[in-house]
């Protein structure tokens, strides 16, 4: 198993299948009255979060605890690490000196987990870096899709919205392409880098022309804080042209899945009621995150112990 | 003063087109004689067989960091690093703290350079007060000061306002001074950390499009045509800019430009592991851009090789990629990179390389004492071994900063001796005792 999980580039189709299969069996633990395995007893996992993210941090924390690891949480504001206080590298060395076995890192600067992995002996798990990658999100998304479609190859998957700034999109495209899905990126040209074709995805600027054939529609969050960057005229226009409203949702194939990494802007990228459609698996994605992160910690840290 | 005889070297002097075995006798700071088989038993003989004897290199683009960031570099340490790299003159960029926008600052930089006495430190002046692009700096006073400033630039920033650029160009004509531009449209480049392309998209880093440079290059060429001012484009990095300059020269516009060793040696592939030492502005570009830079250097569209030597403190570079400041040190790797990537790879002759590193930059700066080896002229000479290979070890740099992406790289071409005003500042690859600070 890999030492660090930094990018979906590291994983082959077999690796992904192995991770998801392991997640499947670990999920049964969650259904037991005592929801704990002893696998990582005596091991320490640090959640190092330079960006606020309650849901990802809690998911990792719970995953580690379910495997009996000790968990410490270290939160810092990205900006403060440059203006004042301890440098990223010094923080890394501090954690190293304390003997942590794994560092789960979320950082606003693309590439920070890769840099971290060169400074420490601990395993590094990328929990989202800048606009680069968010591999555990992609894995839980693949897991969620696999619950409905046993074989991912040949599925038509649209990822809709702000691909340019999205680490979720980058990781998902890589994972989906590796598993043989057909990926189409949909949105205005201001939000879809033309170079994304090099990732093995197609590009469309017309949601209406693709919606009928989709097996999965994956909506990215519109980052309202980017409104002043003139990427599109208004949220209203965005919703009208690139949002999954009820009208478009009705055109989806009956078994097509609706996905979103959260948190949602209801009424913008997704219609207010669409998220509650039966084929919306948005809450399953959250639940599956736990199993997938348990699987990764189990495979990446547990395996070391067996070898030692 | 002392005298010595450089014997048996291959003298390459682009100013006269000489490429032949010559002895060069240096006496009292000047080249006393150039001939074969000079018989002189007074002067010390320095065996230069197998070595190239060239006019000392002239760097159009050095950030000396003094005044303001003496922890990163001083005029004295930059001078020693320059000499170690075979340079006899460096043009000190004005983006210091305070900015070199007045006669007092440029005189201070010039005086500190003379005090160090290792290379000629030629201060560049800012175009605008504080490099804010709003009010003209004391251009005429800097020209008339003992520092005799000839090249003006807001380097670090491009001049954003076209009218201000035009006024500066018009005013500079009074002194036949050079308007030098850091071509960057700030609105297009804002927030960019690397070249915009396939790699920036994959790495999740905001890119700086080639157009951010090309827009301003095109504007400045139009303004140079309008005003008749001498224009120099700093650190050209894109194929589009090279083509703009090529056409402007064909049209008779008074434009020159430079390219850096890192832009002809590396591409944005150097950023795949988010190495902060490969972060630089303008950014490392695509393969096609790198090829265009090399072609421009070969056909003379690009006049000069300039280092854009930009020292940064370790604590500023050893951070998350997006927080690291752009820039890398280049004085001590320039010859090795040029000789390896341009001459060794068969794109330029040694003569052409020396012309781009010495003769032409000296002409752009108006330095009569540099860029040539001639009897009676000041002895500013570099002796190098084009075949000697060495491995870049940043810890051995004489620069106070070590930020380079070339650590561990093996290069061919090593400085053996540097002669500044008739004195060896570097001897057998090491700075002379008097040069060390």
Residue A303 has what pLDDT? 59
- Residue B350 DSSP one-character state: H
Q: How many CA atoms lie less than 13 Å away from A178 in the CB half-sphere?
A: 21
Hey, what are A130's tokens? 């800048």
Residue tagged active-site, from B23, B185, B308, B369: B308
Active site residue B308: yes
Which residue, of B338, B365, B392, is where some domain finishes? B365
B322 with A114: Cβ contact below 8 A = no
Query: Residue B1 pLDDT more than 70?
Result: no
Burial level of B250, CB count in 10 A (0-12/13-18/19+)?
exposed
**Interval A130-184: pLDDT, tens:** 999 999 999 999 999 999 998 999 999 999 999 999 999 999 999 999 999 999 9
Query: Residue B362 pLDDT more than 90?
Result: yes
Residue A14 has what pLDDT? 97
CATH number at residue B282: 3.20.20.140
Q: Mean pLDDT over residues B71-87, rounded?
A: 98
CA dihedral over B126, B130, B132, B138, signed as positive or negative: negative
Whether residue B61 is found in the same domain as residue B43: no
Rounded CA-CA distance B183/A58 in Å is: 47
Which residue, of B365, B394, B423, is where some domain finishes? B365
B-chain residues near A131 (CB < 8 A): 204-206
Query: What's chain B's average pLDDT?
Result: 97
Q: Of B114, B127, B132, B24, whose CA–CA distance to B75 is shortest?
A: B114
Rounded CA-CA distance A288/A59 in Å is: 10
**Interval B197-208: pLDDT, tens:** 999 999 999 999
A109 with B320: Cβ contact below 8 A = yes
B-chain residues near A170 (CB < 8 A): 202, 204
Whether residue B336 is found in the same domain as residue B308: yes
Give percent above pLDDT 90 in chain A.
82
Q: Mean pLDDT over residues B71-96, rounded?
A: 98
Q: Mean pLDDT over residues B265-275, rounded?
A: 97
Rounded CA-CA distance B75/B81 in Å is: 10
A110 with B202: Cβ contact below 8 A = no
Q: Which residues sit opposite B27 in a β-bridge? A: B3, B30
Residue B436 has what pLDDT? 65
**Interval A54-101: pLDDT, tens:** 889 999 999 999 999 999 998 876 555 545 578 999 999 999 999 999
Residue B412 has what pLDDT? 98
State residue B433 phi and psi, 5-degree precision. Answer: -50, -40
Hey, what are B284's tokens? 């490392």
Number of domains in chain B: 2
Nearest CA in chain B to A129: B204
Residue A307 has what pLDDT? 36
What ipTM score was computed for the predicted complex, to two decimals?
A: 0.91
Q: Of B3, B118, B85, B89, whose CA–CA distance to B416 is shortest?
A: B85
Which residue, of B317, B335, B365, is where some domain finishes? B365
Give the domains, in start order, of chain A with CATH numbers.
8-134+286-307 (3.40.50.1370), 148-280 (3.40.50.1370)
State residue B32 phi and psi, 5-degree precision. Answer: -85, -35
Hey, what are B252's tokens? 């008779």
Nearest CA in chain B to A164: B201
CA angle, B50 then B56 then B60, to 5°: 135
Give percent above pLDDT 70 in chain A.
95
B-chain residues near A195 (CB < 8 A): 197-198, 200-202
B166/chain A closest Cα distance in angstroms: 30
Residue A304 has what pLDDT? 47
Whether residue B188 is found in the same domain as residue B118: yes
Hey, what are B77's tokens? 């340490």
The B residues from 311 to 340 touching A (CB cutoff 8 Å) are 315, 318-323
Residue B173 forms part of a structural domain? yes
Residue B292 forms part of a structural domain? yes
Residue B370 forms part of a structural domain? no
Packing angle of the helix pair A13-30, A135-146 (nearest 10 deg): 80
* Three-class HEC string of A167-236: HHHHHHHHHHHHCCCEEEEECCCCCCCHHHHHHCCEEECCHHHHHHHCCEEEECCCCHHHHHHCCCCCHH
CATH number at residue B39: 2.30.40.10
Give the pTM: 0.94
Based on C-alpha coordinates, what's the Rg of chain B?
A: 20
Provide the pLDDT confidence category of residue A306 given band limits of 50, 70 and 90: very low
Whether residue B361 is found in the same domain as residue B275: yes
CB distance A40 to A298 below 8 Å: yes
Residues near B278 by beta carbon (within 8 Å), at least 6 away in sequence: B266, B270, B271, B284, B328, B405
Q: Mean pLDDT over residues B276-292, rounded?
A: 98
CA angle, B236 then B240 then B244, to 5°: 85
Whether residue B33 is found in the same domain as residue B64: no
Q: Work out the number of other CB atoms within 10 angstroms of the CB of residue B390.
A: 16
Query: Residue B126 pLDDT more than 50?
Result: yes
A-chain residues near B206 (CB < 8 A): 131
Nearest CA in chain A to B199: A195
Whether residue B155 is found in the same domain as residue B24: no
Nearest CA in chain A to B319: A88
Whether residue B48 is found in the same domain as residue B60: no
Whether residue B423 is found in the same domain as residue B341: no
**Interval B298-353: pLDDT, tens:** 999 999 999 999 999 999 999 999 999 999 999 999 999 999 999 999 999 999 99
Whether residue B199 is found in the same domain as residue B62: yes
Packing angle of the helix pair A167-178, A13-30 (nearest 10 deg): 110
User: How many contacts (CB atoms, under 8 Å) link A and B?
Assistant: 67
Cα A43 → chain centroid: 24
Query: Residue A30 pLDDT more than 90?
Result: no
B198 with A195: Cβ contact below 8 A = yes
Q: Work out the number of other CB atoms within 10 angstroms of the CB of residue A194.
A: 11
Whether residue B172 is found in the same domain as residue B241: yes
State whether residue B39 sits within 8 Å of chain A by CB: no
What range defines the domain where residue B242 resides? Answer: 56-365
Residue B113 forms part of a structural domain? yes
Nearest neighbour of A87 by CB, restricted to B197, B273, B319: B319
Chain A interface disruption, residue of B210, B322, B325, most A CBs within 10 A: B322
Whether residue B123 is found in the same domain as residue B172: yes
CB distance B167 to B174 below 8 Å: no
Rounded CA-CA distance B184/B209 in Å is: 10
Residue B276 forms part of a structural domain? yes
B-chain residues near A111 (CB < 8 A): 203-205, 273-274, 320-322
Q: Of B34, B87, B89, B18, whose CA–CA distance to B368 is shortest?
A: B89
Nearest neighbour of A87 by CB, restricted to B201, B315, B321: B315
Q: Mean pLDDT over residues B124-129, rounded?
A: 98
A-chain residues near B322 (CB < 8 A): 108-111, 130
Hey, what are A198's tokens? 């090099």
**Interval B19-45: pLDDT, tens:** 999 999 999 999 999 999 998 888 899
State whether residue B35 sits within 8 Å of chain A by CB: no
State whether residue B209 sits within 8 Å of chain A by CB: no
**Interval A279-303: pLDDT, tens:** 999 999 999 999 999 999 999 998 5
Residue A28 has what pLDDT? 85
Nearest neighbour of A196 by CB, restricted to B201, B203, B206: B201
Based on C-alpha coordinates, what's the Rg of chain A?
A: 19
Residues near B430 by beta carbon (within 8 Å), at least 6 away in sequence: none
A89 with B319: Cβ contact below 8 A = yes
Q: Work out the number of other CB atoms within 10 angstroms of the CB of residue B410.
A: 11
A-chain residues near B318 (CB < 8 A): 87, 89
Whether residue B183 is found in the same domain as residue B328: yes
Q: Mean pLDDT over residues B256-281, rounded?
A: 98
B319 with A82: Cβ contact below 8 A = yes
Query: Residue B81 pLDDT more than 50?
Result: yes
Residue B371 forms part of a structural domain? no
């Amino acid at each position: 198993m890999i030492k660090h999980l930094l990018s979906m580039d590291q994983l082959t189709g077999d690796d992904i299948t192995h991770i998801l299969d392991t997640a499947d069996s670990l999920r049964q633990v969650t259904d037991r009255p005592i929801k704990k395995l002893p696998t990582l007893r005596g091991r320490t996992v640090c959640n190092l979060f330079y960006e606020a993210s309650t849901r990802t941090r809690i998911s990792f924390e719970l995953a580690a605890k379910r495997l009996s690891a000790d968990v410490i949480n270290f939160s810092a504001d990205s900006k403060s690490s440059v203006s004042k206080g301890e440098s990223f590298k010094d923080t890394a060395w501090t954690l190293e000196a304390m003997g942590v076995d794994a560092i789960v890192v979320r950082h606003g600067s693309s590439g920070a987990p890769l840099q971290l992995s060169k400074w420490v002996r601990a395993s590094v798990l990328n929990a989202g870096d800048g606009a680069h990658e968010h591999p555990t999100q992609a894995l839980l998304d693949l897991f969620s899709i696999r619950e409905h479609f046993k074989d991912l190859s040949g599925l038509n998957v649209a990822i809709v919205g702000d691909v340019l700034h999205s680490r979720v999109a980058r990781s998902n495209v890589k994972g989906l392409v590796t598993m043989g899905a057909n990926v189409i990126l949909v949105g205005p040209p201001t939000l879809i880098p033309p170079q994304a074709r090099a990732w093995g995805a197609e590009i469309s600027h017309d949601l209406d022309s693709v919606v009928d054939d989709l097996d999965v529609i994956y909506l990215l969050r519109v980052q309202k804080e980017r409104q002043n960057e003139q990427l599109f005229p208004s949220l209203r226009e965005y919703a009208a042209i690139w949002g999954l409203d009820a009208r478009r949702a009705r055109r989806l194939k009956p078994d097509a899945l609706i996905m979103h990494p959260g948190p949602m802007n209801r009424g913008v990228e997704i219609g207010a009621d669409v998220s509650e459609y039966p084929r919306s698996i948005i809450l399953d994605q959250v639940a599956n995150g736990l199993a997938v992160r348990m699987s990764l910690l189990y495979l990446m840290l547990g395996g070391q112990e067996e070898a030692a | 003063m002392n005298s010595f005889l450089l014997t048996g070297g291959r003298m390459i002097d682009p100013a006269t087109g000489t490429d032949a075995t010559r002895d060069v006798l240096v006496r009292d700071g000047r080249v006393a004689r150039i001939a074969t088989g000079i018989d002189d038993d007074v002067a010390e003989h320095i065996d230069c067989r197998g070595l190239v004897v060239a006019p000392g290199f002239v760097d159009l683009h050095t950030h000396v960091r003094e005044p303001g960031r003496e922890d990163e570099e001083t005029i004295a340490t930059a001078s020693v690093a320059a000499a170690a790299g075979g340079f006899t003159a460096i043009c000190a960029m004005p983006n210091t703290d305070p900015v070199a926008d007045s006669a007092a600052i440029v005189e201070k930089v010039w005086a500190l350079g003379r005090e160090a006495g290792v290379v000629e430190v030629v201060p560049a002046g800012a175009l605008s007060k504080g490099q804010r692009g709003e009010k003209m700096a004391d251009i005429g006073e800097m020209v008339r000061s003992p520092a005799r400033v000839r090249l003006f630039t807001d380097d670090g920033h491009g001049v954003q306002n076209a009218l201000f650029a035009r006024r500066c160009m018009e005013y500079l004509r009074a002194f036949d001074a050079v308007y030098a531009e850091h071509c960057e449209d700030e609105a297009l480049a804002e927030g960019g950390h690397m070249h915009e392309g396939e790699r920036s998209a994959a790495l999740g880093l905001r890119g700086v499009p080639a157009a951010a440079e090309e827009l301003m290059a095109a504007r400045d060429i139009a303004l140079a045509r309008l005003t008749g001012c001498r224009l120099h484009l700093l650190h050209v990095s894109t194929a589009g800019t090279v083509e703009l300059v090529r056409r402007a020269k064909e049209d008779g516009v008074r434009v020159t430009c430079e390219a850096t060793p890192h832009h002809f040696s590396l591409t944005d592939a150097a950023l795949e592991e988010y190495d902060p030492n490969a972060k630089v502005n303008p950014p490392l570009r695509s393969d096609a851009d790198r090829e265009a830079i090399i072609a421009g250097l070969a056909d003379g569209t690009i006049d000069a090789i300039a280092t854009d030597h930009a020292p940064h403190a370790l604590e500023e570079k050893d951070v998350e990629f997006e927080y690291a400041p752009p820039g890398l040190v280049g004085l001590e790797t320039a010859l090795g990179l040029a000789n390896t990537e341009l001459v060794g790879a068969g794109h330029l002759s040694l003569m052409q390389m020396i012309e781009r590193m010495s003769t032409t930059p000296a002409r752009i700066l108006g330095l009569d004492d540099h860029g040539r080896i001639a009897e009676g002229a000041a002895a500013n000479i570099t002796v190098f071994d084009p075949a000697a290979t060495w491995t870049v070890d940043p810890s051995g740099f004489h620069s106070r900063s070590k930020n380079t992406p070339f650590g561990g790289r093996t290069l061919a071409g090593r400085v053996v001796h540097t002669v500044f005003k008739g004195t060896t500042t570097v001897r057998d690859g090491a700075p002379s005792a008097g040069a060390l600070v």
